[in-house]
């Protein structure tokens, strides 16, 4: 066994990013395919071939001999993969930064910090927003119900005891 040493021509910057500072990671870019067609050239006529063909087979030989060989048409499917893995994070000044990695690094990030994957982060934010909006509507609804109960009490439809009982039930629903 021997030790292999690697010398870099340029220094490498090493960045340490706390997991809490990572906003998300995701894939950006696309894969597209291109068909490259080559060949099919040639054809036309050759004077030299016509003279040789005429000498061998007469007029018909001149026509056949004058034809140049047509090259075979070939096609090649080329795949262009422009995908990269982006990591968004916040630096020590709370400014958003991005780092670009190879597309293959996406799976490594997903194995290490799956909770920071873009779609999961986005779903979590959406879920929190829906929950807060629902809570606001529930609180508003309870407030409206309390007003309605007070109105019923003021009109003499509910007694003070009935009002207080219902009021306590509604207030207990507020988180």
Q: Report pLDDT digits (tens) over 18-65.
A: 999 999 999 999 999 999 888 766 555 666 665 666 667 666 555 555
Contacts of residue 118, defined as CB under 8 A and 6 or more positions apart, other chains included, come to 24, 25, 26
Contacts of residue 38, defined as CB under 8 A and 6 or more positions apart, other chains included, come to 73, 74, 75, 76
Q: Report pLDDT digits (tens) over 134-168.
A: 777 677 688 888 888 889 889 888 888 888 888 88
Contacts of residue 139, defined as CB under 8 A and 6 or more positions apart, other chains included, come to 174
53 vs 167: CA distance, rounded Å:
111
């Amino acid at each position: 066994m021997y030790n292999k040493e690697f010398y870099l021509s340029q220094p490498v910057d090493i960045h340490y990013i706390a997991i809490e500072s990572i906003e998300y990671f995701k894939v950006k870019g696309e894969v597209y395919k291109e068909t490259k067609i080559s060949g099919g050239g040639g054809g036309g006529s050759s004077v030299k071939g016509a003279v040789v063909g005429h000498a061998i087979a007469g007029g018909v030989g001149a026509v056949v001999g004058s034809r140049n060989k047509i090259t075979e048409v070939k096609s090649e499917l080329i795949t262009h993969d422009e995908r990269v893995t982006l990591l968004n994070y916040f630096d020590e000044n709370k400014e958003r930064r991005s780092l670009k990695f190879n597309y293959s690094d996406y799976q490594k990030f997903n194995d290490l910090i799956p909770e920071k994957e873009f779609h999961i982060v986005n779903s979590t934010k959406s879920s929190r927003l829906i929950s807060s909006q629902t809570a606001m509507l529930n609180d508003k609804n309870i407030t409206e119900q309390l007003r309605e109960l007070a109105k019923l009490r003021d009109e003499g439809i509910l007694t003070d005891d009935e009002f207080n009982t219902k009021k306590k039930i509604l207030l207990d629903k507020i988180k």
